[in-house]
């Protein structure tokens, strides 16, 4: 049997198939992404299985791009020779709020409660939940499991999660939740398995189109840069990160309404807004213009500044780990961040760092560095699959055999 892990976005659907062996979730045997799912888009599926990479256009009439994509995925799963049958579908859901602090089987009531959180993560939550609904219809016999990015941060102490607001608002759930939790769980598990320092003072940097930092001690989140929504903290691809609330009051005085402000903060700021060119760090690196460099410098500065805050909360640093699209592949940014954290005893190995762009865990600290530096390619799908397997078989020593479940027509 296997767990199908999916991440439904506004214009894409990422998926991976994770076999179960001896009760343990294994690395994926099938990975892929369907892009072009926006209205009037031209969906295309790219997938890898048994060492082969395939690409195919998704055609059809009448249905939405997402429905056509889902039908193509169903056909792919049915046709792949040697692919294990699916036991359950694990969904990445960005926000679990106060009610959901661990993964949960999806029901109508669960979906209704999660939809109340859409405004806290408007770029992700509505699309995550739309994906859940579509998979429930397409695979009605399969359990659907919601796995939350906020769950890893349930261990935040009150002093780290509470805003300086009246207690009545805190009691309503206006607090810091933190995100990228599936990624941080994977990074943390990797460090715990490979380094004796993993239980020490760890700073994890998930840097990509969405970007955040997480401080952890004894394997548990104790501080994070993201907060009530996925807007807080670091500068991101199109999101502003931390912003003086007075700016929003000023914009409201200038006549800006909710929708215009939301679009500014989520879609027109960050690397894109500062550069006026792109939200893609690779394109900005290649551009070479003053505007592109300004955006890169500001992004790097914010990572360094927020890192100092995380380290202060822990009283020092034992391990620094980079992940995410930028964190895994941008050696220049890693070197600049580590150089500016040199006062902590952080010393990066130039040659190791330059080579650490492959899809494997790499150690990149120099001899004599008092802080270990790791590059950990994240695998949120494997964490979601593991959560689903654990939820379905709590108390079992192994995954019990299950009947092959048919897909809906």
Tell me which residue of 38, 405, 396, 377 sits closest to 208, measured CA to CA: 377
Q: Is the pLDDT of residue 399 over 60?
A: no
Choose between 69 and 293: higher pLDDT: 293
Residue 62 phi, psi (nearest 5)? 95, -45
210 is in an annotated binding site: yes
Q: What is the pLDDT of residue 62?
A: 60
320 is in an annotated binding site: no
Band (pLDDT 50/70/90 cuts) for residue 41 is confident
Tell me which residue of 208, 205, 260 sits closest to 238, measured CA to CA: 208
342 is in an annotated binding site: no
List the domains of the chain with CATH numbers. Answer: 2-154 (3.30.420.40), 181-378 (3.30.420.40)
Instruction: Give tens-digit pLDDT for 126-136.
Output: 999 999 999 99
207 is in an annotated binding site: yes
Q: What is the pLDDT of residue 61?
A: 62
Q: Which of 63, 79, 149, 349 is catalytic?
A: 149
Band (pLDDT 50/70/90 cuts) for residue 396 is very low
280 is in an annotated binding site: yes
206 is in an annotated binding site: yes
Choose between 139 and 64: higher pLDDT: 139
pLDDT, mean of residues 11-31: 92
Task: Give the C-alpha separation, 232 to 398, whole Å.
Answer: 40
Mean pLDDT, the chain, integer? 92
Q: Is the pLDDT of residue 46 over 70?
A: yes
Check if 149 is active-site. yes
How far CA 102 is from CA of 13, 204, 258, in Å, comes to: 23, 21, 31
CB-based burial label for 138 (10 Å; 0-12, 13-18, 19+): middle
Q: What is the pLDDT of residue 42?
A: 82
Q: Is the pLDDT of residue 405 over 50?
A: no
Q: Is the pLDDT of residue 358 over 80?
A: no
Instruction: Give tens-digit pLDDT for 168-178.
Output: 999 989 999 99
Task: Give the C-alpha separation, 349 to 339, whole Å.
Answer: 11
Q: What is the pLDDT of residue 65?
A: 83
Give me the residue label for tokens 């914009």: 251
Percent of the chain with pLDDT over 70: 95
Q: Is the pLDDT of residue 401 over 70?
A: no
Q: What is the pLDDT of residue 380?
A: 95
Q: Is the pLDDT of residue 409 over 50?
A: no
Contact of 214 with 179, CB cutoff 8 Å: no
328 is in an annotated binding site: yes
Inter-helix orientation angle 331-340/290-314, to 10°: 50
Task: Give the C-alpha separation, 120 to 115, whole Å.
Answer: 10
Instruction: Give tens-digit pLDDT for 97-116.
Output: 999 999 999 999 999 999 99
CA quadruple 297, 298, 302, 308: dihedral sign? positive
Tell me which residue of 14, 7, 307 sits closest to 128, measured CA to CA: 7
């Amino acid at each position: 049997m296997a767990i199908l892990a999916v991440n439904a976005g506004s214009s894409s659907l990422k998926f991976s198939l994770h076999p179960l062996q001896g009760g343990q979730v294994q690395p994926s045997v099938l990975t892929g992404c369907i892009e072009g799912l926006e209205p009037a888009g031209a969906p295309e599926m790219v997938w890898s299985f048994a060492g082969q990479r395939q690409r195919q256009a998704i055609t059809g009439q009448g249905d939405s791009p997402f429905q056509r994509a889902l039908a193509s995925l169903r056909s792919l799963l049915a046709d792949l020779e040697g692919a294990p049958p699916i036991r359950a579908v694990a969904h990445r859901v960005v926000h679990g709020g106060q009610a959901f602090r661990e993964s949960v089987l999806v029901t109508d009531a669960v979906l209704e409660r999660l939809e109340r959180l859409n405004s806290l993560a408007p770029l992700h939550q509505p699309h995550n939940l739309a994906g859940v609904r579509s998979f429930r219809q397409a695979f009605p016999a399969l359990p659907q499991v919601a796995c939350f990015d906020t769950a890893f941060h349930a261990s935040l102490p009150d002093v780290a999660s509470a805003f300086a607001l009246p207690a009545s608002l805190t009691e309503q759930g206006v607090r810091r939740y933190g995100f990228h939790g599936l990624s941080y769980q994977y990074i943390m598990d990797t460090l715990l398995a490979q380094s004796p320092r993993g239980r020490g003072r760890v700073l994890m940097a998930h840097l990509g189109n969405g970007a955040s930092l997480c401080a952890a001690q004894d394997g548990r989140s104790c501080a994070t840069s993201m907060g009530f929504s996925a807007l807080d903290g670091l500068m991101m691809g199109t999101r502003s990160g931390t912003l003086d609330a007075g700016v929003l009051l000023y914009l409201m005085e200038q006549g800006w309404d909710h929708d215009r402000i939301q679009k500014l903060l989520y879609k027109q700021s960050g690397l894109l807004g500062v550069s006026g060119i792109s939200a893609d760090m690779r394109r900005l690196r290649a551009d070479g213009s003053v505007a592109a460099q300004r955006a890169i410098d500001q992004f790097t500065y914010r990572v360094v500044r927020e890192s100092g805050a995380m380290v202060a909360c822990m009283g020092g640093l034992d391990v620094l780990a980079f992940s995410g699209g930028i964190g895994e592949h941008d050696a220049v940014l890693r070197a600049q961040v580590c150089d500016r954290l040199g006062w902590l005893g952080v010393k990066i190995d130039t040659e190791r760092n330059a080579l650490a762009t492959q899809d494997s865990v790499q150690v990149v600290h120099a001899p004599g560095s008092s802080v270990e530096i790791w590059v950990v390619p994240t695998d949120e799908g494997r964490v979601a699959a593991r959560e689903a397997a654990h939820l379905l078989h709590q108390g079992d020593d192994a995954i019990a055999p299950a009947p092959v479940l048919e897909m809906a027509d």
